[in-house]
Chain A
Amino acid sequence: MSPREKFGLALIAVALIALPFVLAAAGTAWVRIANFAVLFVLLSLGLNIVVGYAGLLDLGYVAFYAVGAYVYALLASPHFGLHLPFWIILPIGAAVACVAGVILGAPTLRLRGDYLAIVTLGFGEIVRIFMNNLSSPVNLTNGPKGINRIDSFQLGPLNFSASDTLAGLIFSGPIKYYYFLLLVLLAVIVINRRLQDSRIGRAWVAIREDEVAAKASGINTRNVKLLAFAMGASFGGIAGGMFAAIQGFVSPESFILNESIMVLSMVVLGGMGNIWGVIAGAVLLSFVPELLRYTVEPAQMALFGKLLVDPEVLRMLVFGLALVLTMRFRPAGLWPETRHRRELSEGRT
Chain B
Amino acid sequence: MSPLDAGTVSSGFERFPTMDILLQQIINGLTTGSVYAVVALGYTMVYGVIQLINFAHGEVVMIGAMVAFSVITSLAGSGLPPLAIVLAGVMAAVPACMLMGYLLERVAYRPLRHAPRLAPLITAIGMSIILQHLALLVWGRNPLAFPQIIDNQVFGIGGAAISSVQIAIILMSLAMMAGLSWFVYRTRFGIAIRATAENVHIAGLMGVNANRVIAATFVIGAGLGAVAGVMYGSYYGIAHYTMGFSLGLKAFSAAVLGGIGNIAGAMLGGILLGLVEALGTGYVGEFTDLCHWPVAHGWLSERCADGGNFVLFGSNYQDVFAFLMLILVLVFRPSGLLGERVSERA
Residues of B within 8 A of A111 (CB): 330-331, 334
Contact of A324 among B115, B130, B316 (CB under 8 A): B130
Q: Are B119 and A317 in contact (CB under 8 A)?
A: no
A324-B107, A327-B126, A347-B346 known; A136 and B311 CB under 8 Å?
A: yes
Taken residue by residue from 131 to 174, chain A's Cβ proximity to chain B (1 for < 8 Å, 0 otherwise) reads as: 01100110000000000000000000000000000000000000
A136-B311, A137-B311, A328-B111 known; A119 and B134 CB under 8 Å?
A: no
Q: Are B327 and A324 in contact (CB under 8 A)?
A: no
CB under 8 Å from chain A, chain B span 323-346 = 323-324, 326-327, 330-331, 334-336, 344-346
Main secondary structure of the interface of A (DSSP, over half): helix
Q: Which of the segments A94-102, A175-183, A209-217 contacts the partner chain?
A: A209-217
Contact of A272 among B118, B133, B327 (CB under 8 A): B118
Residues of A within 8 A of B324 (CB): 122, 126
Taken residue by residue from 238 to 255, chain B's Cβ proximity to chain A (1 for < 8 Å, 0 otherwise) reads as: 000000010001001100
Taken residue by residue from 292 to 325, chain B's Cβ proximity to chain A (1 for < 8 Å, 0 otherwise) reads as: 0000000000000000011111101101101110
- A320 at the binding interface (Cβ < 8 Å): yes
- B165 at the binding interface (Cβ < 8 Å): no
- A268 at the binding interface (Cβ < 8 Å): yes
Question: A122 to B320, alpha carbons, bound, how many Å?
Answer: 8
Distance from A230 Cβ to chain B, minimum over Cβ atoms (Å): 19
Q: Are B253 and A118 in contact (CB under 8 A)?
A: yes
What is the number of residues of chain A that contact chain B, defined by CB distance less than 8 Å?
60
Q: Are B323 and A114 in contact (CB under 8 A)?
A: no
Q: Are A323 and B344 in contact (CB under 8 A)?
A: no
For A214, the closest partner residue in chain B by CB is: B346
Residues of A within 8 A of B53 (CB): 114, 117
Question: A123 to B336, alpha carbons, bound, how many Å?
Answer: 17
- B230 at the binding interface (Cβ < 8 Å): no
Q: Are A119 and B125 in contact (CB under 8 A)?
A: no
Question: A69 to B125, alpha carbons, bound, how many Å?
Answer: 26
CB under 8 Å from chain A, chain B span 45-87 = 47, 51, 53
Q: Which of the segments A4-12, A31-39, A338-346 contacts the partner chain?
A: A338-346
Q: Are B320 and A345 in contact (CB under 8 A)?
A: no
A115-B335, A309-B137, A332-B116 known; A265 and B122 CB under 8 Å?
A: yes
Distance from B298 Cβ to chain A, minimum over Cβ atoms (Å): 15
Question: A123 to B309, alpha carbons, bound, how many Å?
Answer: 28
Residues of A within 8 A of B4 (CB): none
Distance from B324 Cβ to chain A, minimum over Cβ atoms (Å): 7
Question: A264 to B316, alpha carbons, bound, how many Å?
Answer: 28
Question: A264 to B121, alpha carbons, bound, how many Å?
Answer: 10
For A317, the closest partner residue in chain B by CB is: B133
B: contact size bracket:
35 or more
- A199 at the binding interface (Cβ < 8 Å): no
Q: Are B136 and A349 in contact (CB under 8 A)?
A: no
Distance from B113 Cβ to chain A, minimum over Cβ atoms (Å): 9
- A331 at the binding interface (Cβ < 8 Å): yes
- B6 at the binding interface (Cβ < 8 Å): no
A129-B317, A210-B346, A268-B118 known; A322 and B126 CB under 8 Å?
A: yes
Question: A112 to B336, alpha carbons, bound, how many Å?
Answer: 12
Distance from B134 Cβ to chain A, minimum over Cβ atoms (Å): 7
Distance from A24 Cβ to chain B, minimum over Cβ atoms (Å): 31
Residues of B within 8 A of A319 (CB): 126, 129
- B200 at the binding interface (Cβ < 8 Å): yes
Question: A129 to B323, alpha carbons, bound, how many Å?
Answer: 11
For B313, the closest partner residue in chain A by CB is: A133
- A200 at the binding interface (Cβ < 8 Å): no
Q: Are B334 and A345 in contact (CB under 8 A)?
A: no
Residues of B within 8 A of A309 (CB): 137
Q: Are B253 and A331 in contact (CB under 8 A)?
A: no
Question: A341 to B290, alpha carbons, bound, how many Å?
Answer: 54
**Most chain B C-beta atoms within 10 Å of own C-beta, residue among A117, A118, A123, A130:** A118
In the A-B complex, the 6 residue pairs with the closest CB atoms = A323-B126, A331-B115, A122-B323, A320-B129, A344-B116, A210-B346
Given contacts A268-B119, A313-B136, A324-B126, 14 further A-B contacts (CB under 8 A): A115-B336, A119-B330, A125-B323, A129-B317, A209-B346, A268-B118, A319-B126, A322-B126, A323-B123, A323-B126, A327-B126, A346-B346, A348-B51, A349-B201
B positions within 8 Å CB-CB of A: 47, 51, 53, 107-108, 111-112, 114-123, 125-130, 132-134, 136-137, 199-201, 245, 249, 252-253, 256, 260, 290, 309-314, 316-317, 319-320, 322-324, 326-327, 330-331, 334-336, 344-346
